Amino acid sequence: MSGISYMTQEGYEKLRAELDELKTKGRDEAAKAIAEARDKGDLSENAEYDAAKNAQGMLELKISELEKAFAGARIIDASQLDTSKVTVLTNVTIRNIKTNKDMTYKLVAEAEANLKEKKISISSPIGQGLLGKAVGDLAKIETPAGVMDFKIIEISL
Judgement on whether residues 86 and 105 belong to the same structural domain of the protein: yes
pLDDT, position 1: 42
Judgement on whether residues 48 and 87 belong to the same structural domain of the protein: no
Question: Closest Cα to residue 6, out of 111, 79, 84?
Answer: 111
pLDDT, position 27: 93
pLDDT, position 130: 93
Judgement on whether residues 70 and 123 belong to the same structural domain of the protein: no
For residue 125, give its domain range: 78-156
Of 27, 53, 75, the residue at which a domain comes to its end is 75
pLDDT, position 84: 87
Judgement on whether residues 32 and 70 belong to the same structural domain of the protein: yes
pLDDT, position 12: 84
Of 43, 75, 107, the residue at which a domain comes to its end is 75
Nearest-angstrom CA–CA distance, 38 and 125: 46
Judgement on whether residues 84 and 105 belong to the same structural domain of the protein: yes
pLDDT, position 32: 92
Structural domains in the chain (count): 2
Judgement on whether residues 71 and 19 belong to the same structural domain of the protein: yes
pLDDT, position 72: 80
pLDDT, position 118: 93
**Helix, strand, coil percent content, the chain, rounded in steps of 5:** 45, 25, 25
Q: Identify the CATH number of the domain in which residue 123 sits.
A: 3.10.50.30
Nearest-angstrom CA–CA distance, 127 and 106: 9
Pairing of strands 73-75, 5-7: parallel
Of 48, 75, 102, the residue at which a domain comes to its end is 75
pLDDT, tens digit only, all 157 positions of the chain: 456 777 778 878 888 899 999 999 999 999 998 888 888 777 677 788 888 889 999 999 999 988 888 888 888 776 777 788 998 888 999 999 999 999 999 998 887 888 899 999 988 999 999 999 999 999 999 888 889 999 999 998 8
Judgement on whether residues 100 and 149 belong to the same structural domain of the protein: yes
